[in-house]
Amino acid sequence: MPARKVYLDHSATTPLAAEVYEAMKPFLQERFGNPNSLHSWGREARKAVDESRASIARLINAEPREVIITGGGSEADNLAIKGTAFALQGRGRHIITSAIEHHAVIDTCKWLEKQGFELTVLPVDETGMVSIADLDAAIREETILVTIMYANNEVGTIQPVREIVRTARAKGVRVHLDGVQAVGHIPVDVKDLDADLLTLSAHKMYGPKGVGALYVKRGVKLDPLVHGGGQEFGLRSGTENTAGIVGFGAAAELANRRLEEGAVEEESRLKDLLINGITDKIPNAHITGHPVERLPFHASVCFDYIEGESMLLRLDAAGIGASSGSACTSGSLEPSHVLLAMGIPHELAHGSLRLTLGKDTTEEDILYVLEILPKVVSDLRALSPLGKELS
Ligand SMILES: Cc1ncc(COP(=O)(O)O)c(C=O)c1O
């Protein structure tokens, strides 16, 4: 048995908060009504859905009518991108995205490319940032959508979203931001940003899995992907996942409260302790992502002469849950497209490690990781002909 269990993979998913679970429970059992029914059971469920939608809207400073509940972040990304493509194809068929998007965005764009849409994939610099000049130059008469992530899941870099929106909007182009990693963790205000579409996911902010939302600014027209009973203002048919939506609402309330109580500062402090500890204690540790413009809970690093998977297994044996960009979701051994797009060489990208903190992470947890990780790295390097002298 490991001395301690430390979960540092909150970018993959967060635990369900106790208060979120409590809020959901009645809707899994006695409050089972269909929100579309007219009787008291239905009205009770409808009220819960409406209140939750209002909580989610408050988190991003939107109107409740602008929040479309979906079956997760991936579905919201699909709705934003395909929904725009189908609605605006009469005006143009060109879409702009970046090289470091989540697969829910990049694969959706690539699918549209096969249907005859044109795609421009913007490069990023070595910190994972897109260039506003590149974006400006890529926009053409036929451009209908710019879809760029708010913050990256693998390296934590926060994009210059305000400038991205301003640049696209100045040329009359719609903007979608994938905010899955950002919303609930840093203040996000859609009115201030003026973005058209923003993706959210409940399970990245202590809510349940399989529930997300797309913010759709009033007046922005999308074609629905799921047709049927016309729920979600006609944009996503199907009887609502009441318990999931209530959980999302409770998670949004929790996120609002945590942001007000200074969660960003506390997570940043622990993240800095971790990053500084790693660079102090481990030679040839390359922190990836932007040094300043990064998510407050996100640390990512590449180590020379190491395989990410071996590192994960050894950390897991020591009770530490982490992830590596070298292990792609499909199980392929190709290093992450994000790290490669940032110009990180293949060999180094293979030794990537992502440690993402959460609301229950303590200083003791970080100190434990700083005790275990240097030994794991040094032991693995000792097995590598090139790494021996560093171990
Ligand atoms: C940036 C980003 N977008 C989209 C998603 C997909 O969200 P979901 O898991 O809710 O489908 C993720 C999940 O990892 C993500 O990190």
Q: Is the residue at 361 inside a domain?
A: yes
Do both 142 and 280 map to the same domain? no
For residue 117, is pLDDT > 70?
A: yes
Q: Is the residue at 75 inside a domain?
A: yes
Please pick, among 328, 340, 370, 390, the residue that the annotation labels catalytic.
328
For residue 14, is pLDDT > 60?
A: yes
Do both 90 and 173 map to the same domain? yes
What is the whole-number distance in angstroms between the Cα of residue 13 and the centre of ligand 1?
9
Do both 304 and 199 map to the same domain? no
Q: What is the pLDDT of residues 189-218, one digit of tens each?
A: 999 999 999 999 999 999 999 999 999 999
Q: Nearest Cα to 154, choosing from 340, 375, 313?
A: 340
Mean pLDDT across the chain, nearest whole number? 96
The gap from C-alpha 342 to its chain's centroid, in whole angstroms, comes to 18
What is the whole-number distance in angstroms between the Cα of residue 102 and the centre of ligand 1?
7
pLDDT given for residue 328 in this prediction: 45
Write out residues with Cβ below 6 Å of ligand 1.
72-74, 77, 102, 104, 149, 153, 178, 180-181, 201, 203, 212
What is the whole-number distance in angstroms between the Cα of residue 262 and the centre of ligand 1?
25
Do both 111 and 200 map to the same domain? yes
Q: Whose CA is nearest to atom 14 of ligand 1?
A: 12
Do both 329 and 384 map to the same domain? yes
Q: Is the residue at 76 inside a domain?
A: yes
Do both 245 and 317 map to the same domain? no
Three-class SS state of 364:
helix
Q: Which residues form the domain of 146?
A: 18-259
- pTM (whole model) above 0.95: yes
Rounded to an integer, what distance in angstroms lies between the CA atom of residue 55 and that of residue 59? 6
DSSP letter string, 51-96: HHHHHHHHHTT--GGGEEEESSHHHHHHHHHHHHHHHHTTT--EEE
Q: CA dihedral in degrees (163, 167, 173, 178; nearest 10)?
A: -20
pLDDT given for residue 9 in this prediction: 97
For residue 249, is pLDDT > 60?
A: yes
Ligand 1 atom at minimum distance from 101 CA: 1
pLDDT given for residue 330 in this prediction: 46
